[in-house]
């Protein structure tokens, strides 16, 4: 119960995603085609370095793919 309360307090959902993870996925789901890391970072208002950390988690979870054209939903 303590762990669940802590996760909720930090904005982490049942899939282990935080607010930035969800915003990243929402940008990709927008239907505007593949996106570069720089574009996503600018749209989300965060540094590319910070977003890259979140992105690696999303890739490991099988939610995002990096293609020659850019990032897409898996």
- Flag whether pLDDT at 70 surpasses 90: yes
Which of 52, 44, 48, 14 minimizes the C-alpha distance to 27? Answer: 44
Instruction: Determine the pLDDT at residue 53.
Output: 95
pTM above 0.95? no
**Sign of the dihedral defined by the CA atoms of residues 39, 28, 12, 54, in that order:** negative
Instruction: Tell me the HSE value of 74 on the side-chain side, using a 13 A CA sphere.
Output: 10
**8-67 pLDDT per residue, tens:** 888 899 899 999 999 999 999 987 889 999 999 999 999 999 999 999 999 999 999 999
Within a 13 Å sphere around the CA of 27, how many CA atoms are in the beta-carbon half?
23
């Amino acid at each position: 119960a303590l762990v669940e309360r802590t996760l909720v307090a930090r904005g982490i959902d049942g899939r282990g995603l935080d607010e930035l993870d969800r915003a990243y996925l929402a940008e990709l789901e927008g239907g505007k085609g593949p996106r570069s890391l720089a574009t996503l970072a600018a749209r989300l208002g965060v540094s590319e370095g910070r977003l890259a950390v979140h992105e690696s988690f999303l890739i490991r979870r099988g939610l995002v793919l990096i293609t020659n054209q850019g990032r897409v939903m898996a």
